[in-house]
Amino acid sequence: MASDKAKKEEKAATQYSLFFIQRFKGKVLFNVPMSEYTSFRIGGNADVMAFPQDEGDLKDILSFAEAKDFPVYILGAGTNLLVRDGGIRGIVINICEGFKEISWQEETRATVGAGVKLSELLNACKEKGLSGLEFSAGIPGTVGGAVIMNAGAFGGEMKDVVEGVEVLGRKGKKGFIPAVELGFSYRKTEVPKGSVVIRAHMLFTKSTPEAVGERVKETAGKRKGTARIAYPNAGSIFKNPEGLFAGRLIEEAGFKGAVSGDAQVSEVHANYIVNTGAARAKDVLALMALIRDKVYSLKGVVLEPEIKVIGED
């Protein structure tokens, strides 16, 4: 006899299927290995992954999930993410196949879809001779994800070029949040809970293609160390404490090259943990815990994760 939990899961799967068959225009996948959708190549299965094609699709799925009390997670390129080994219950909304438009207004303003790759936007800015995004050279991921985490490097951050964001909130209600209300801080943005960023309104500075290209080249040169990291990873694992570098603290604590299963602290940059084969989330989390404890013991510094950790054990 099926357990109550199995019956509940079967009923939820049926509800998912009926909704997507009847209304959804985009692609839908069931029982999806999250290892295929994160740069870490780690993670258990998600119940459902949906790829909305437009605002109508996204609005419908948000309303459906709220009505059924299904949890929702918004996924971009999966580059700053660790999914636990038990996977994700609910609906993963993957924005990478929709919301990919770049609409230019005037000379220096653009409305950019959340699914646009940051590298694609940077290339467009370089061609137009628009400055402000050069710091992002080499940062993977989408514009939506970059805004949510206020991505930055070498003195520049997304907050420097974002004027505001368009969001879909509860029951698919659309709104606009100006930058002054987004609470930009180090690797964080205060987007209201339940709201999905669908577009960013951005302002750049007029320059020349040659000057922007030169600054992009300089930024890429500064990144050449981490560019040598060959194994799958999620970028910087810990935030830099104020006035310090997490990588240096980790290296001084003796963790460069340390392993747990197939997870390894990179021998190139100590603030990167890499997947050398078939690492599991528990391996990465074990290394992170050891690093935090040792750095605090030796330096009195509490390291905060920069990556997002989601899902079930």
Other Cβ atoms less than 10 A from the Cβ of 250: the count is: 27
How do the pLDDT tens digits run along the chain, 313 residues long?
Answer: 456 655 555 555 555 555 555 667 888 899 999 999 999 999 999 999 999 999 999 998 888 888 888 899 999 999 999 999 999 999 999 998 889 999 999 899 999 999 999 999 999 999 999 999 999 998 989 999 999 999 998 899 999 999 999 999 877 789 999 999 999 999 999 999 889 999 999 999 999 999 999 999 999 888 776 767 889 999 999 999 999 999 999 999 999 999 999 999 999 999 999 999 999 999 999 999 999 999 999 999 999 999 999 999 9
Residues 106 and 217 in one domain: yes
What is the C-alpha end-to-end distance of the chain, expressed in Å? 26
> Can 306 be counted among the known catalytic residues?
yes
* Alpha-carbon radius of gyration of the chain: 20
CATH for 180: 3.30.465.10
**pLDDT at residue 1 in the model:** 45
CA 298 to chain centre: 31
- Judge residue 307's burial from the number of C-beta atoms within 10 Å of its C-beta, 0-12 exposed, 13-18 middle, 19 or more buried: buried
Question: How many structural domains does the chain have?
Answer: 3
40 lies in which domain range?
A: 4-97
Question: Annotated catalytic residue: which of 41, 187, 215, 280?
Answer: 187
Out of 131, 207, 236, 266, which one is annotated catalytic?
A: 236
Q: How many CA atoms lie within 13 A of 203 on its CB side?
A: 7
| Chain segment 17-50, per-residue pLDDT in tens | 555 556 678 888 999 999 999 999 999 999 999 9
Number of DSSP helices (H) and strands (E) in the chain, helices first: 7, 18
Domain boundary at 97, 115, 135, which?
A: 97
Which of 162, 197, 222 corresponds to the end of one domain? 222
Residue 187 annotated among the catalytic residues of the structure:
yes
228 in active site: no
Q: Which of 134, 157, 166, 306 is catalytic?
A: 306
* Residues 67 and 107 placed together within one structural domain of the fold: no
Q: Tens of pLDDT along 251-269?
A: 999 999 999 999 999 999 9
Last residue of a domain, one of 177, 195, 222: 222
The Cα 16–Cα 40 span in angstroms is: 28
What integer best gives the mean pLDDT of the chain?
A: 91
Residues 90 and 107 in one domain: no
153 and 252 in a common domain: no
Whether 92 and 127 map to the same domain: the answer is no
**Burial letters 115-149, b for 16+ CB under 10 A, else e:** bbbbeebbebbbebbbbbbbbbbbbbbbbbbbbbb
- Looking at the fold, whether 162 and 258 belong to one and the same domain comes out as no
Residues 208 and 296 in one domain: no
